[in-house]
Chains A and B, each alone.
Chain A
Amino acid sequence: MTSNNILLSVENLKVYFQGNGAPVRAVDGISFEVRQKETVCIVGESGCGKTVTALSILGLVSTPPGEVVDGKIVFSGQNLLTLDERKMQKIRGNRISMVFQEPLTSLNPVFTIGDQLGEAVRTHRPIAADALRRYCIQLLNDVGIPSPEQRLGDYPHQLSGGQRQRVMIAMALSCDPDLMIADEPTTALDVTVQAQILGLLQTIQQKRSMSLLYISHDLGVVSTIAHQIYVMYAGIIAEQGNTDQIFLSPHHPYTQGLLASLPSLSKRGKRLYSIPGSVPNPAYKPEGCPFHPRCPHAILTCREEFPEMCDYGKGHLARCPVLFKNKKERN
């Protein structure tokens, strides 16, 4: 792929939160790119900085206590971090939209679905009332809500979780964004609804040819929709590559551990693998490689040196020099 169809590129983004003690380094220098019409997934455990990354793209990290310390977020040629609030408002919802994790609380309980959907549209484009109504019905239809005319007058508490998430997706779609950020949109839903929502996101993405930045902790979900995967650990990117590279030949011990701990048919009856230890406190990360206390391949240098990205070719990068060296020696 050529570089000129890059829609969003994040370079060396650092977002710190100032608490009472040491600054919490939630996002500690990550870089990634989203190309047009591509689904990019960011995978990682809870607390590794996925959501903060998403929020900082939209400039929604609350300051204080949060602060974007360093880095660039370039969206179709503009650095979003230097834009002022008013210009950001024109981008939010209009060119980049977001679907949140909790559909149950992401809709305003005192307004009807129609009101909220209509507001999402009217914020960015002038539209007459009856055209707006037709457009809203069409949007609800697109996201697969049955009898949308009646749903327009419903309050959020009258819909199920899956329907609310569909409404949220409809709101995110309302202005034909170039990029949709989905922050674990299926976490709060049960598995059948999850499959429906994933299918919906995929169809919509193909139909409208927009890019999707999908944030998840669920590798199973990611494997079905992603083109490009970034594995995050403790605020940094541990490994990046396309779906096949990550799932078939992971080169970072963290990714390997994650994949080993996925249940599958072949492992039926056996005890599941789990990565020993737990995620470090983002304010007090270990020196060197943040993963070394839990890593089966750790050597002395891992404690001292922050690992470099090692290139395995074809865009597959992993932040583990030890495995890289081992592999080279074997060849």
Chain B
Amino acid sequence: MNMDKKDFYIEPPPVPKRTRMQELQHVFAQNRLALLGLLIFILFFCCAVTGLFLTSGSSPVCDPSMVRLQEKLRPPLARPNLESLKPREIPALGVYLMGTDDLGRDVFSRMLQGAWVSLTVGFVAVGISVLIGIFMGGIAGYFGQKHFRMDHILFTLCLVLGAGLIIVNSYVIGTVLLSICSAYIFYSLSGRNRFKKKDLPFWKAILRRNTISVDTLIMRIVDIMLCFPSFFLILTVVALLPASIYNIMIVIGLTSWMGTTRFVRAEFLSLREQDFVAAARALGLGNFRIIFRHIMPNAVAPVLVSATIGIASAILTEAGLSFLGFGVPPPHATWGNILSNGKNFIFDAPWLTFIPGIAILIVVLSFNLFGEGLRDVLNPKLRERH
């Protein structure tokens, strides 16, 4: 059969095509609230970055820790009393934009300093939790039906025990255990142990016995983690560790990955059975390439939505910790500890509570709105529908 493509197709009239930028504009124009969220987010980002430059260094433009006792509890937009202040104590704007607190510190400078803390806490903590969540969820969803064998569990125990023994200074036994483990890993990777189940000796059959499925193990760990009241877990850890902003980020990240794990696992369970995954395997792609390149982008939309909301809740958690006095240590301002200081003067100086409170509200809300909008943009099918 002589088949030329011209037999079947006459070139169709050209359809006006929109570029990707135009499509994005279109989607965002449809979704005003998401656009608003994005704008506020960009504004917040700029504030945080400029705030970092303005408030840090040896002689910052806006000094958040400049104490002016004679100027305490001034309301927003109050003019500084120029006679009682030394020249370097006068705020850079010439006005207390957001008032002063009980020590006469400029709340505007302190909010600027705190914005950077909130931003980094939000992003780093959620970054950690999303990375862990995607990894654990992906493994649980994709390899869920595989089982851990007896030997896996034994040699994990062996490894942990060996490391523990080395830590408590019993080097000989620890090293022996560790080397047994590495020998076993080497042996099991060498590929010589590929034989059928039937012709195994008894002890090997016990070692190769299936115990618990990967899915069960990971999801039970998630359940256990969810059982802890996470705020108090964070409080405990923060009480044990030296108080620093990085510890707080890491701790918030390590206690909030469970939601993402569940999301990702659920997405993977349904995506794993899709035809395009079978097609990708039929093309000869490896497991990890399929997980991270083919399934993950399909699963990432709900994760991104939950991540933006997670940023909001991480900012809230940090604010809560600072409010309770467990957060970033005092001379450094965060929105939480401004709020916490302000609560003592809520009737005399309500701006001390309302300004950081409303700032937290707006940022958290904008992240949530932006997250919702992002979900629509990321889905090519929804994009077409608009």
Contacts and interface: CB of A to CB of B under 8 A. Distances in A.
A303 interface: no
B12 interface: yes
Contacts of A158: 384
A91 interface: yes
Nearest to A54: B282
Nearest to B380: A155
A127 interface: no
A202 B284 contact: no
Interface in A142-169: 144, 146-147, 150, 155, 157-158, 168
A84 interface: yes
Contact of B284 (A55, A109, A124): A124
B274 to A, nearest CB: 6
Contacts, number: 91
Nearest to B280: A108
Nearest to B381: A157
Contacts of A102: 275
B228 interface: no
B286 A89 contact: yes
B283 A123 contact: yes
Contacts of B381: 109, 157
Contacts of B145: 62, 64
A109 B282 contact: no
A175 to B, nearest CB: 9
Contacts of B274: 105
B276 A84 contact: no
A263 interface: no
Given A60-B281, A146-B9, A202 B380 contact: no
A97 B298 contact: no
A90 interface: yes
A120 B297 CA distance: 18
Nearest to B285: A123
A171 B280 CA distance: 10
Contact of B3 (A62, A92, A203): A203
Given A64-B145, A199-B1, A199-B3, A120 B283 contact: yes
A196 to B, nearest CB: 6
A93 interface: yes
Interface of A: 55, 58, 60, 62, 64, 84, 88-94, 97-98, 100-102, 105-111, 119-120, 123-124, 141, 144, 146-147, 150, 155, 157-158, 168, 171, 196, 199-200, 202-203
13 contacts: A60-B278, A60-B282, A84-B191, A92-B282, A92-B283, A93-B284, A100-B278, A106-B278, A107-B276, A108-B297, A123-B283, A123-B285, A155-B380
